[in-house]
A and B are shown apart, each in its own frame.
Chain A
Amino acid sequence: MKTAHPFTSEPGTVGEGLAQRGVSRRNFLKYCSTLASLLALPAGMAPVLAAAIATARRQSVIWLSFQECTGCTESITRSHSPTLENLIFDLISLDYHHTLQAASAEAAEQAREQAMHDNVGKYLLIVDGSIPLGNPGYSTIAGISNHAMLLDSARGAAVIVAVGTCATYGGIPKADPNPTGAVSVSDIVKDKPIINIPGCPPIPVVMTGVLAHFLTFGKIPELDGLGRPKVFYGETIHDRCYRRPFYDQGKFAQSFDDEAARRGWCLFKLGCKGPVTYNACATTKWNDGTSFPIQSGHGCIGCSEPNFWDAGGFYQALSMPITPVQGTLAAAAAAGAAAGVAVTWHNRSKKSAARAAHQKMTVDDLKREEQ
């Protein structure tokens, strides 16, 4: 992995880096074609991607990890060698990542400051983990609070990429009762473009795909209302799920070991959050395109949506209320039912009255008097 650049962190081109690594042009083009299709770009864009990536100065990247579990980093490194996802690290110059870098202590922090200084206004800032606002001491790196480090690093960044549900929406640290006062990156940084790549963790190719898009086009991809790239988060898991036909036919598994579950029927009633979760799991899948949770028999838990931890039990159907029905809610339901009964009674008597007032029509009743 990358170590700090002791003299300068002005990086060479990607093409040079690849050649050094012995990656053939054919393999590189293959990678670009995959990338183009992943990003829903026309096939003709593959050579453009190749040209842009090969001649690009390797992008300086600073990766900050705050209140997180390292699952996002695990995910992005989990693409197994020698698949091409790994190469994405050679397209960038990862100047600071405290989990992956060999340097430690002073040298590590120096690397971050050096990269920020050399590439001011140009570097990419990747953040995973949420930021505690409750007490600066809850999470620090080299004695610097997460909040201070984020503000400091964000200042000179070209773009910020928040990866993982913690960085994008607060995630599990923010879950009720949120003891650390955790917030997301976008809650703090307001003056920089932010790309949100939620997921617990996000899909590796989604992370690398977004980085490649930025590298190639020099701008951020089209985002939705929650700051997510539409190309990966444009549709719900449910809409692209291979079990969707069973949902449409009303064929549901009632328990995880019944005949319906064995037949692969829809897991909606077992709490699948696919219908409200926007992500690419059902299409790109995990572990090199092998499978995804629903395919292995478990419902989606909606990990890439804001507040997913507090959105009801994982095994509770979406149609069920999140909190137990009691007290005022029960009273409101009873009042609603009573109002319904009253309105029905009123409607019925109104209709009966209309029926009683009905005068049998004859042909003489077809016209009005004045006519």
Chain B
Amino acid sequence: MTATLAKGINAFKEVMDAPIASFFSSCVHCGLCAEACLFYTESGDARFTPIHKIEPLRRIWQQEYTLLGKLGSMVGFGKEVTDAELAEWESLVYDSCTMCGRCAMVCPVGNDLTYMIRKMREGMVAAGHAPEGLVTATQRAISSGSPAGVKWVTVQAQIRRLEKQHGYTVPVDQVDVDYLVLMSSWEILNFPEYLGAVGRILNQAGKTWTLASDAYEATNSGIQIGSSDLARELVSRIVSAAERLKARCVISPECGHAYTAIRWDGPNLMGRPFGFEVKHILEVLDNLRRAGKLKLKNQKSLTQPLTYHDPCQISRRGGVYEQPRTLLNACASDFREMADTGVMNWCCGGGGGVSANERAEPLRMNVFKKKKSQIEALGVKTLVTACANCRVVMEEALEHYGMDVEMLGLTEVVADQLEEN
């Protein structure tokens, strides 16, 4: 068993569907997507034009699925897609696309380029043209349960520390609960305060919740690398845990693509609707607030000027952009919006698997110039977000550029605003 060009080409043919065909046939070659892509705006390199990143897929579509293309191929017209070409495209498809979807917002014919990149990656990974970093992360995710190699014992150690700090018991493998709480590796390793915050909020709201010892990891490397088979394997772990524990709702953590993977791709990968709800933590918090279950202090705990970075998969691709603003305004007295914000935000530069791909680091640092200028224009020293991956990527970049900006996760901000019991 190994990756081959033949497998890749077969995968390209297999992923071709009605949306892809209509996207390719309606593209008017206007190039507007380039201006929406931060890899293009920050480099001026035309190779980073989003639609160009899927050129091999377009050629397969044209040669295999259009009448003129078929006729052309018969008489020897039409350049075949080769291994060398896919090798050249690897960095365009994986390093310079965070699947942020900003290009899809400006496309005048409504082409969902993120969907196309996602399909393109199916063929790339089958042909063995996925970046080393993502391959390793995916292997670890399948074998050990987490792309960063975090094992359950690590989570247990975190649980013990939190229990000591907050004085409550973290429920594990409880059956018949309101919420099954998931985390991303980043939250387990770098931001344990997330779990602490979720526990405090859910306990105060009087909700039952649990962690699952066999499904604590929400991220999905299969989605990032572009393998539906592996993505299905990872999602099914969460689905079977949620069903076994009879959880009524699964909470996706502060992680962008995890939300996409469980909520949007999940049911399609499993081929059936879930018997439970999937919500992002910000949706859960805002629902609790609206139901009057979130008791917040009137005195706002954050008084410094601050801004909110919209994680692409949560705001643009997920539709959760009003909730963070309502929540943040309840906790902060000087919330300032960036110029491009909400569904038109600019990506941190590390989404869609780019942060797991060490080779892409120089590119990632370069495109952060966009976010840097946005932050500097506001003159704030505090940046709140709701995605641990955005947070890690931006903390590294802030360090790289020597910027004195503090980062906060929105869930902890809300937890710190809770009324003392």
- How many chain B residues sit at the interface, stated as a range, is 20 to 34
CB-CB nearest in chain A for B6:
A357
Q: Tell me the complex Cα distance, A339–B68, Å.
A: 11
Interchain CB contact under 8 A, A365 and B2: yes
B67 and A371 within 8 A (CB): no
CB-CB under 8 A from B14, the residues of chain A are 351, 354-355, 357-358
Q: Is A176 close to B, CB under 8 A?
A: no
* Complex Cα–Cα for A285 and B125 (A): 62
Which of chain A's residues has its CB closest to B64's CB?
Answer: A350
Q: Give the residues in chain A near B225, CB-CB below 8 Å.
A: 366
Residues of A within 8 A of B135 (CB): 366-367
Q: Is A343 an interface residue (CB 8 A)?
A: yes
Select which of A346, A351, A357, A366 is within 8 A of B16 by beta carbon: A351
Q: Which chain A residue lies CB-closest to B143?
A: A363
Chain B CB within 8 A of A361 CB: yes
Chain A neighbourhood of B139, CB < 8 A: 363, 366
Asked if B2 and A358 make an inter-chain contact with CB atoms under 8 angstroms apart, the answer reads: no
- Cα A289 to Cα B3 in complex, Å, equals 72
Is there an interface contact between B2 and A350, defined as CB atoms closer than 8 Å? no
**Would A366 and B130 count as touching, CB distance under 8 A?**
yes
Q: How far is the CA of A368 from the CA of B2 in the complex (A)?
A: 5
B1 A357 Cβ-Cβ under 8 A: no
The docked-state distance in angstroms from the alpha carbon of A355 to that of B3 is 17
Q: Closest A-chain residue to B228, C-beta based?
A: A361
A368 touches B13 (CB 8 A): no
Which residues of A sit under 8 angstroms from B143, Cβ to Cβ?
Answer: 363
B128 at the interface (CB under 8 A from A): yes
Asked if residues A354 and B128 are in contact (CB atoms below 8 Å), the reply is no
| B135-179, CB < 8 A from A | 135, 138-139, 142-143
Residues of A with C-beta under 8 A to B128: 366-368, 371
Contact partner of A350 among B65, B67, B125, CB < 8 A? Answer: B65
Flag whether A77 is at the interface (Cβ < 8 A).
no
| Binary per-residue interface labels of chain B (334-378) against chain A in the complex, 1 for a CB within 8 Å, 0 otherwise | 000000000000000000000000000000000000000000000
Which B residues are in CB contact (< 8 Å) with A353? 13
**B227 in the interface, Cβ–Cβ < 8 Å?**
yes
A363 vs B126: C-alpha distance when bound (angstroms): 11
Contact A350-B13, Cβ < 8 Å, known A339-B67, A343-B67, A360-B229 = yes
**Which of B301-345 touch A at CB < 8 Å?**
none
Nearest residue (CB) in A for B15 is A354
**A347 on the B face (CB < 8 A):** yes
Q: Provided the pairs A351-B13, A361-B229, A363-B230 are in contact, do residues A343 and B142 lie with their beta carbons within 8 angstroms?
A: no
State which residues 195-240 of B face A: CB under 8 Å. 225, 227, 229-230
A8 in the interface (beta carbon within 8 A)? no
Q: Is the CB of A368 within 8 A of B142?
A: no
Interface string of A324-368 (1 = CB under 8 A from B): 000000000000000100010011001101110111111111111
Known A-B contacts A354-B14, A358-B11, A365-B3; A347 and B65 likewise in contact (beta carbons under 8 Å): yes
The residue of chain B having its C-beta at the shortest distance from the C-beta of A369 within the complex is B2
**Contact status A361-B2, CB under 8 Å:** no
Whether the pair B64, A366 counts as a contact (CB closer than 8 A) is no
Name the contact of A361 in the complex, choosing from B13, B66, B126 (C-beta under 8 A).
B126
The interface residues of chain B, by DSSP majority, are classed as helix
B113-140 residues at the A interface, CB under 8 angstroms:
125-126, 128, 130, 135, 138-139
Report if A366-B138 is in contact (Cβ < 8 Å); known contacts: A343-B67, A351-B14, A358-B10: yes
B231 → chain A closest CB, angstroms: 10
Complex CA gap A366/B11 in Å reads 13
> Chain A residues with Cβ under 8 A from B7's Cβ?
359, 365
B66 to chain A, nearest CB (A): 8
Name the residue of chain B whose CB is nearest to the CB of A346.
B70
Verify B2–A357 contact, CB threshold 8 A: no
Which of A354, A360, A371 makes the CB contact (< 8 A) with B13?
Answer: A354
C-alpha gap A343/B68 in the complex (Å): 10
B45-81 interface mask toward A, CB cutoff 8 Å, 1 = contact, 0 = none?
A: 0000000000000000000111100100000000000
B3, B10, B70, B138: the one within 8 Å of A354 (CB): B10
Contact A362 B1 (CB under 8 A): yes
Partner pick for B125 among A364, A366, A369, CB 8 A cutoff: A366
Nearest neighbor of A371 in chain B, beta-carbon distance: B128
Q: How far is the CA of A367 from the CA of B1 in the complex (A)?
A: 9
B5-51 residues at the A interface, CB under 8 angstroms: 7, 10-11, 13-14, 16
Q: Does B91 contact A (CB under 8 A)?
A: no
Q: Which of A343, A347, A354, A365 contacts B1 (CB 8 A)?
A: A365
Judged by a CB distance under 8 angstroms, whether B382 is at the interface is: no
Inter-chain contacts of A363 with B (CB < 8 A): 138-139, 142-143, 230
CA A361 to CA B11, docked complex, whole Å: 11
Q: Mark A304-323, 1 if CB is under 8 A from B, else 0.
A: 00000000000000000000
A365→B3 CA distance, assembly (Å): 5
Considering the chains assembled together, what is the distance between the CA atoms of A194 and B100 in angstroms?
A: 54
B13 proximity list for chain A (CB < 8 A):
350-351, 353-354
Name which residue of chain A comes closest to B14, CB basis. A354
Interchain CB contact under 8 A, B4 and A368: yes
Residues of A within 8 A of B11 (CB): 354, 358
Q: Across the interface, which residues of B come within 8 angstroms of A368, CB to CB? A: 2-4, 128
* Contact partners of A359 in chain B: CB under 8 A: 1, 7
**Could you say which residues of chain A place their CB within 8 Å of the CB of B67?**
339, 343
**A343 contacts across to B, CB distance below 8 A:** 66-67, 70
Bound-complex Cα distance A367 to B227 (A): 13
* Those of A46-79 within 8 Å (CB) of chain B: none
28 A/B residue pairs, CB under 8 Å, sorted by A: A343-B67, A347-B16, A347-B65, A350-B13, A350-B65, A351-B13, A351-B16, A353-B13, A361-B125, A361-B126, A361-B227, A361-B229, A362-B1, A362-B230, A363-B143, A364-B1, A365-B1, A366-B125, A366-B138, A366-B139, A366-B225, A366-B227, A367-B128, A367-B135, A368-B2, A368-B4, A369-B2, A371-B128
Q: 5 closest pairs, A vs B, by CB?
A: A368-B128, A354-B13, A354-B14, A361-B229, A369-B2
Which residues of B line the A interface, CB within 8 A?
A: 1-4, 7, 10-11, 13-14, 16, 64-67, 70, 125-126, 128, 130, 135, 138-139, 142-143, 225, 227, 229-230
Q: Which residues of A contact B (CB under 8 A)?
A: 339, 343, 346-347, 350-351, 353-355, 357-369, 371
A366-B135, A368-B128 given; name 15 further pairs at CB < 8 Å: A347-B16, A351-B13, A354-B14, A358-B11, A361-B126, A361-B227, A362-B1, A364-B2, A366-B138, A367-B2, A367-B128, A367-B135, A368-B3, A369-B2, A371-B128
